[in-house]
Amino acid sequence: MTRDLPRPREWLAGAAPYRTESQAAEVRLQSNESTESAPLGRYLRQADLEGTLLNRYPDITAADLRTLLARRWEVTPEQVILGNGSNEVLLYTFLIFGGSDRTLLVFTPTYTMYARLARLTGMRVHEERVGVPYSLDVARVRGAVARVRPDVVCFSSPNNPTGNLLDDATILAAADAGSILVLVDEAYAEFSGHTLLPRIADHPNVVVVRTLSKAHAAAGLRLGALVADRRLAAMYEAARLPYNVGTLTQLVGRRIVADDAGLAERVSCIIGERTRVERELHRMPELDAFPSAANFILFRPRMMRGRALHTELVERGVLVRDVSSWPDAGESLRATIGNPTENDRLLDALRAVLAERSR
């Protein structure tokens, strides 16, 4: 007898899994992760292997790690919510403030996970089309908020995939519009040297998301955090899954967060390389390259499709992210800033492809 499958909500019935590009390549600059090798042995000691017990549940509050992060960010531990990567705390945001009778406002192109999670939780999604170059100001935000009347607004600053830092006044224009939840994703804040964290005190409807996946070179650890006013943080604590940050993650996370010297050196090297890569891209008349305050740079070819350039780069052993399918990103590619050798491979591959095309 044939049995019918249970019927999911309409959006989920046609949704495809979230995937990143996984083609084989010698130089992998597609995921905005640190390309510096960071083995687990850098943070574990021999005594940890005997003293870390896996038969017991982890500290459900991750108190030591939250306290350490709170000191770094000059907030209280109660304001810090931890997640299995920043995507988990993003999901909690939509579980708490989303729903079928609510609306998300985003300014595209931006990180596609915001709209994905909103639709997953049944929200309506309004994508305000900004395009590339990504120019967003107070007037544009106020106008969109007045028209859309959203319940949640998400900003990425520096913005992914365009790389530019948003002005505080631009973001706070949404927060000043009423009882709207304003999420500010600062995954790349260490590279910009700027944060909106101090503004939570006078804008309690603002929450800020951070991660250890980028500047801390710990994408494989899966550790993210959200900082909120204490009253909102209590809501997140109620929604948070118990024991969502494992014992080993808490241990290694504390060691990584305490490594101030390693973080400073890594960020300095990436900023230096970012400046060099931007300069070289601007010397290629066949490309438009856009200023970045993150650990990646967005560029688009003038004489060919973005996907075609992406394919040609892969054939030369270099994998970048094709974002041309992202809403309003145009024919753009996004390249992570790697080490000098990796960046040279990218630049050489671009020069070779563009030279062939201009013949």
What's 309's domain CATH number? Answer: 3.90.1150.10
DSSP 8-state code for residue 243:
T
Q: Domain for residue 313, yes or no?
A: yes
**CATH number (domain holding residue 123):** 3.40.640.10
250 and 290 both lie in a single domain: no
Look-up: residue for tokens 């495809």? 16
Whether residue 135 is predicted with pLDDT greater than 90 in this model: the reply is: yes
> What is the CA 177 to chain-centroid distance, rounded?
25
DSSP character string of 52-69 = --SSSPPPTT-HHHHHHH
223 and 304 both lie in a single domain: no
Helices (H), the chain: 10-13, 46-51, 63-73, 86-97, 113-120, 138-148, 168-175, 189-192, 230-239, 247-258, 260-282, 306-315, 340-357
DSSP 8-state code for residue 220:
G
79 and 211 both lie in a single domain: yes
Distances from the Cα of 352 to the Cα of 161, 286, 345, angstroms = 24, 12, 11
Q: Domain for residue 103, yes or no?
A: yes
Residue 126 amino acid letter = H
Q: Domain for residue 45, yes or no?
A: no
253 and 266 both lie in a single domain: no
344 and 234 both lie in a single domain: no
Average pLDDT, the chain: 96
Kindly state the greatest CA–CA separation across the chain: 67
254 and 276 both lie in a single domain: no
Whether residue 1 is predicted with pLDDT greater than 70 in this model: the reply is: no
Number of H helices, E strands in the chain: 13, 12
101 and 221 both lie in a single domain: yes
Domain extent at residue 15? 10-36+261-357
Q: Domain for residue 325, yes or no?
A: yes
Q: Domain for residue 41, yes or no?
A: no
**Beta partners for residue 301, in sequence order:** 287
How many domains does the chain fold into?
A: 2
With CA atoms as reference, report the closest residue to 324 among 112, 74, 137, 80.
Answer: 112
Average pLDDT score over residue span 256-271: 97
pLDDT in tens, 19-50: 887 788 999 999 999 999 999 999 999 999 99
Q: Domain for residue 209, yes or no?
A: yes
Which tokens hold the place of 234? 């209590």
Q: Which of 259, 284, 301 is the last residue of a domain?
A: 259
94 and 128 both lie in a single domain: yes
Q: Which of 259, 294, 326 is the last residue of a domain?
A: 259
CA dihedral sign, ordered 55, 60, 63, 68? positive
Look-up: residue for tokens 């601007």? 282
pLDDT of 271 reads 98
Look-up: residue for tokens 């650890």? 221
pLDDT in tens, 199-233: 999 999 999 999 999 999 999 999 999 999 999 99
Which tokens hold the place of 81? 């919510």
Q: Which residues contact 140 (CB under 8 A, 6 or more apart)?
A: 107, 128, 130, 170
180 and 212 both lie in a single domain: yes
- The C-alpha atoms of residue 212 and residue 222 are separated, in whole angstroms, by 8
Burial class (CB in 10 A: 0-12, 13-18, 19+), 168: middle
The Cβ of residue 11 has, within 10 Å, a number of other Cβ atoms equal to 15
276 and 252 both lie in a single domain: no
236 and 292 both lie in a single domain: no
Q: Domain for residue 5, yes or no?
A: no
200 and 267 both lie in a single domain: no
With CA atoms as reference, report the closest residue to 235 among 204, 212, 210.
Answer: 204
Average pLDDT score over residue span 299-319: 96
Q: Domain for residue 238, yes or no?
A: yes
Q: Which residues contact 66 (CB under 8 A, 6 or more apart)?
A: 77, 80, 82
Distances from the Cα of 92 to the Cα of 5, 160, 238, angstroms = 28, 20, 10
Q: Which of 223, 243, 259 is the last residue of a domain?
A: 259
pTM listed for this prediction: 0.96
pLDDT in tens, 58-106: 999 999 999 999 999 999 999 999 999 999 999 999 999 999 999 999 9
Average pLDDT score over residue span 333-352: 98
Q: Mapping DSSP to helix (H, G, I), strand (E, B) and coil, where does residue 166 land?
A: coil
